[in-house]
Amino acid sequence: MTDDARRDRSPVPPAGGALGRADPWQFLSAFTQARIGLGRCGGSVPTAPLLQFQLAHARARDAVHRTLDPIALAAGLGQAGFDVLHLASAAPDRRTFIARPDLGRILSDASRATLEQRPPAAVPYDVAFVVTDGLSALAVERHALPFLAQIAPRLAAADWRIAPVCIVEQGRVAVADEVGALLPARMTVILVGERPGLSSPDSLGLYLTWDPLPGRSNAERNCISNVREPDGLAYAVAAHKLFFLLTEARRRKLSGVDLKEDAAALEAPDTTAALPPG
3-state secondary structure 130-172: EEECCCCHHHHHHHHHHHHHHHHHHHHHCCCCECCEEEEECCC
Are 47 and 143 found together in one domain? no
CB 149 within 8 A of CB 89: no
Q: Which domain holds residue 50?
A: 3-9+16-65
Residue 116 within any structural domain of the chain: yes
Q: CA angle, corner 191, sides to 175 and 67, nearest 5?
A: 80
CATH number at residue 151: 3.40.50.11240
11-46 tens-digit pLDDT: 444 444 444 566 777 777 777 777 777 777 877 888
If asked whether residues 79 and 194 sit together in one domain, one would say yes
Residues 78 and 26 in one domain: no
Claim to verify: residue 50 and residue 154 sit in the same structural domain: no
Q: Is residue 30 part of a domain?
A: yes
Q: Which residues contact 256 (CB under 8 A, 6 or more apart)?
A: 209, 210, 219, 220, 221, 222
Q: Are residues 138 and 225 in the same domain?
A: yes
Torsion of CA 31, 145, 88, 130, to 10 degrees: -90
- At residue 197, the pLDDT reads 80
- DSSP H helical ranges for 12-106: 47-65, 70-79, 94-99
pLDDT for residue 273: 46
The domain total for the chain is: 2
Let me know whether 214 and 161 are in one domain: yes
In a domain, 149, yes or no: yes
Q: What is the pTM of this model?
A: 0.82
In a domain, residue 156? The reply is yes
Q: Are residues 122 and 244 part of one domain?
A: yes
Name the residue type at position 142. Answer: R
Burial bucket for residue 246 (CB in 10 Å: 0-12, 13-18, 19+): buried
Query: Considering the domain boundaries, does residue 263 fall inside one?
Result: no
Q: Are residues 43 and 159 in the same domain?
A: no
As separate numbers, helices (DSSP H) first and strands (DSSP E) second, the chain gives 8, 8
Give the side-chain half-sphere CA count within 13 A for 235: 17
Q: What is the mean pLDDT of each run of 10 residues along the chain (278 residues)?
A: 47 45 73 76 81 85 88 96 97 95 97 93 93 95 97 96 97 98 97 88 96 96 95 94 97 95 70 47
